[in-house]
Amino acid sequence: MIEFHLDARSGVAPYLQLVHQVRRALRLGLLFEGDRLPTVKEVAAKVAINPNTVLKAYRELEHEGLVAKKPGVGTFVSGTLGDASLSEHEPLRRELARWLERARSAGLDEESIEALFLATFLAPSGPSSVEEGQGPSTEEER
């Protein structure tokens, strides 16, 4: 069963944090169709938020077709976001864990690691001209 957590410093609304966590768990194959989500009361008590916030998250997930309410029984996963690439997740996760270890060993703090990752992730795809050896060739261009 999924365990929710909230980051008050993230700037993301609590209900959206819950939605993102369910979506992430579905994408990573941690939740499957038929799995029961924690009750609204359980989530509200665990993360110390208003039950209406949890209800809003569950309604959003229901609207997306990812969960369905069964009155008197609970809320269950009814859709999935996982795909055939799930088999590749574990080797990639291990490789990323090694990269994170190297980054920390190089002295990068969490904020620097996140900035480097996001800059790389959001960069246009394909090798850059510098990587291809076509970087600036004169002192003025550098």
- CA 67, distance to chain mean position in Å, is 18
CB-facing half-sphere around the CA of 79: CA atoms within 13 A: 13
> d(Cα 88, Cα 110) in Å, to the nearest integer?
25
Query: Is the predicted pLDDT of residue 37 greater than 90, yes or no?
Result: yes
Summarize the confidence of residues 101-128 as an average pLDDT: 86
**What is the model's pLDDT at position 83?**
65
**What is the model's pLDDT at position 29?**
84
**What is the model's pLDDT at position 142?**
40
Domain 12-75 -> CATH class = mainly alpha
Query: Is the predicted pLDDT of residue 50 greater than 70, yes or no?
Result: yes
Query: Is the predicted pLDDT of residue 115 greater than 70, yes or no?
Result: yes
**What is the model's pLDDT at position 86?**
67
Query: Is the predicted pLDDT of residue 108 greater than 80, yes or no?
Result: yes
Q: Where in the chain is the domain with CATH 1.10.10.10?
A: 12-75
Provide φ and ψ at 75, rounded to 5°.
-110, 130
Average pLDDT, the chain: 86
Q: Where are the alpha helices (DSSP H) in 1-142?
A: 14-27, 40-47, 51-63, 86-105, 110-122
Q: Which amino acid is at 75?
A: T
**What is the model's pLDDT at position 87?**
72
In this structure, are residues 113 and 100 in contact, taking their beta carbons and an 8 Å threshold? yes
Q: Please, which residues bridge with residue 103 across strands?
A: none
Query: Is the predicted pLDDT of residue 128 greater than 80, yes or no?
Result: no
